[in-house]
Amino acid sequence: MKVLSVNAGSSSLKFQMYEMPQEEVLISGVFERIGIDGSFYSLKINGKKIKKEKVLKDHDMAVSVLIDELLANNVVESLEDIKAVGHRVVHGGDKYSDSVVIDDDVLNTIVGLSDLAPLHNPANVIGIKAFFNKIPNAIAVAVFDTAFHQTIEKEEFLSSGPIEWYENHKVRKYSFHGTSHKYITERMKSILNKKEVNLITCHLGNGASISAIKGGQSKDSTMGFTPNAGLIMGTRSGDFDFTIIPYIMEVENKTLEEVLNDLNKKSGLLGISGISSDSRDIEEEFLNNEKNAVLAQNMYVKRIVAYIAKYFVFLKEVDAITFSGGIGENSSITRKMILDELEALNIKVDKVSNEKREDEFLISSKESKVDCYVIKTDEEVMIAKETYDLTK
């Protein structure tokens, strides 16, 4: 069965088409600068990459082009071949703890949750509607970034503000990257050959979060009401003393919006180092001993270590610590720095294994109290799987 996995942003649309249940990628691609001058798309098929410039007025047009390409490349014979489309949806609030087939009610709920995710849910809805318009017969499924974290219990998900904020306005931790943490959990169940895994899963990309997984369920995670909580990220501050906000508004004569923009877009690795939000640049300058890069890298690592230590105590027993996301999968320096800092927990890195470049590998030594792995995440296949399961 052919299933599309879709991630729609406000001006982009990424997709993969899978033959399910084999999980074979038939074609993948991304449409960029939709609705903006200079729009283009790129496709990958049979190992070949194609890039084409094309005016893409809106998402409907991008989906039309996508369908034309599927037909032209003989990926499908007719539109009827596309049985299901799985959409990444960032916010499912506290309503969805699983993926769900999208009907009018679900669509309205996703729209209604836009207050909680103003940058993401409206874009996801545009994507959903574009596919509904072009291929109304395909089953549409919403796969929520928040769903996997709905097993987090109240003591962990409540903020420490007045309880009325939760009762009246649903202010609480939702946490994100759930599809990735779930994929890693499923992989680790298989690797460890265990149904009930206890894990600390570190998703370290541009955005970053760590989850505490108990018995295969998310029981805590570092992101919060929004993605700007927890770890230091590429441009986000992560955990932050909120009283700095009115102070900076006053002394820098800035609006609330400007300060929030600083915390979202000009903080984290970029803000501390003044160099870049890209960990490759930070790493390069760290190795050159550039003082702000050293500071940013050390702070980045320490925040991760603090959360791993917290979750270690929280879980009591940990089968494995995993690293994924662009930094987790690629930066052996960052991984080694983290694991070296965890010496007090008798965790030990294997320096040689840590330098490997594979999709899944062990990086801790035989003496390590906890096994540590690099697991390449695959949110797209997870979306395809969840979607396929709902067609049965």
Query: Which residues contact ligand ADP by CB under 6 A?
Result: 205-207, 234, 278-280, 283, 325-327, 330-331
One-letter identity of residue 118: P
- What single-letter DSSP state applies at residue 35? T
Coil/strand/helix, residue 206: coil
Which residues have CB under 8 Å from 141's CB, separation 6+? 84, 85, 86, 87, 99, 100, 101, 102, 383, 386, 387, 390
Cβ distance to ligand ADP smaller for residue 9 or 127: 9
Smallest gap, in angstroms, from Cβ of residue 295 to ligand ADP?
Answer: 17
Is 94 marked active-site?
Answer: no
Peptide bond between residue 227 and the one before it cis (omega within 30 degrees of 0) = no
Smallest gap, in angstroms, from Cβ of residue 173 to ligand ADP?
Answer: 19
Smallest gap, in angstroms, from Cβ of residue 71 to ligand ADP?
Answer: 30
Structural tokens at position 178 = 């759930």
Smallest gap, in angstroms, from Cβ of residue 355 to ligand ADP?
Answer: 12
Cβ distance to ligand ADP smaller for residue 301 or 370: 301
How many CB atoms within 10 Å of residue 18? 26
Smallest gap, in angstroms, from Cβ of residue 252 to ligand ADP?
Answer: 28
Which residues have CB under 8 Å from 253's CB, separation 6+? none
Coil/strand/helix, residue 166: helix
**Catalytic residue, candidates 37, 94, 105, 145:** 145
Smallest gap, in angstroms, from Cβ of residue 330 to ligand ADP?
Answer: 3
**What is the Cα–Cα distance from 135 to 153, expressed in whole angstroms?**
39
Q: Assess contact for 387 and 88: CB atoms under 8 A.
A: no
Structural tokens at position 300 = 């980045």
Smallest gap, in angstroms, from Cβ of residue 231 to ligand ADP?
Answer: 12
Q: Assess contact for 47 and 75: CB atoms under 8 A.
A: no
Cβ distance to ligand ADP smaller for residue 122 or 326: 326
At 126, which helix (H) or strand (E)?
helix 121-134
Of the candidates 147, 129, 176, 134, the one whose C-alpha atom is nearest the C-alpha of residue 8 is: 129
Cβ distance to ligand ADP smaller for residue 278 or 389: 278
Q: Assess contact for 87 and 140: CB atoms under 8 A.
A: yes
Sign of the torsion formed by the C-alpha atoms of 273, 275, 280 and 285: negative
Q: Which residue is nearest to ligand ADP (CB)?
A: 326
**What is the Cα–Cα distance from 90 to 227, expressed in whole angstroms?**
10
Cβ distance to ligand ADP smaller for residue 121 or 332: 332
Cβ distance to ligand ADP smaller for residue 86 or 205: 205
One-letter identity of residue 207: G
Q: Looking at the DSSP assignment, which residues form a beta bridge with residue 43?
A: 29, 50
Smallest gap, in angstroms, from Cβ of residue 277 to ligand ADP?
Answer: 7
How many CB atoms within 10 Å of residue 43? 21
Q: Assess contact for 152 and 219: CB atoms under 8 A.
A: yes
Name the pairing type of β-strands 139-144 and 82-89.
parallel
| Residue positions annotated with a catalytic role | 145
